[in-house]
Chain A
Amino acid sequence: MDEYDNAFESYLRQFEPRRPGALTHGQTTPFLRLRRLAAAVVVMMFIGASILLVRQKPLPTGGGVNTARFSAQGQPASVLPMIQLTQLALENPTGLDASLSEASRSMLPDFQAARSTLRVLAKE
Chain B
Amino acid sequence: MAGPKLSAADIGQLYEQHGAALLLYARSFVVDAAVGEDLVHEVFLKLLRGETTVPDIPLAYLYRAVRNAALNTRRDRRSHEAHDNEIPWFQHREGKQEEELALQSALGELPEDQRAIVIMRIWGGMTLEEVADATEAPLSTAASRYRYALEKLRERLKPWRRLT
Secondary structure call for the B interface = helix
Q: Which residues of B contact A19 (CB under 8 A)?
A: 19-20, 23
Secondary structure call for the A interface = mixed
A91 at the interface (CB under 8 A from B): no
Q: Which residues of A contact B123 (CB under 8 A)?
A: 13, 16-17
Given A13-B122, A15-B100, A31-B42, are A8 and B150 also a contact pair (CB < 8 Å)? yes
Counting contact residues on chain B (CB < 8 A from A), the size range is: 35 or more
Q: Of all chain A residues, which has the CB nearest B119?
A: A17
Q: How far is the CA of A20 from the CA of B8 in the complex (A)?
A: 18
Stretch at the interface among A22-30, A52-60, A93-101, A114-122: A22-30
B residues contacting A by CB (< 8 A) are: 8, 12, 15, 19-24, 33-34, 37-38, 40-42, 44-45, 48, 87-94, 99-100, 103, 118, 121-123, 147, 150, 153-154, 157, 161, 164
A residues contacting B by CB (< 8 A) are: 5, 8-9, 11-21, 23, 25, 27, 29-32
**Which 5 residue pairs of A and B lie closest in terms of their CB atoms, listed nearest first?**
A17-B24, A15-B90, A17-B20, A29-B38, A20-B23
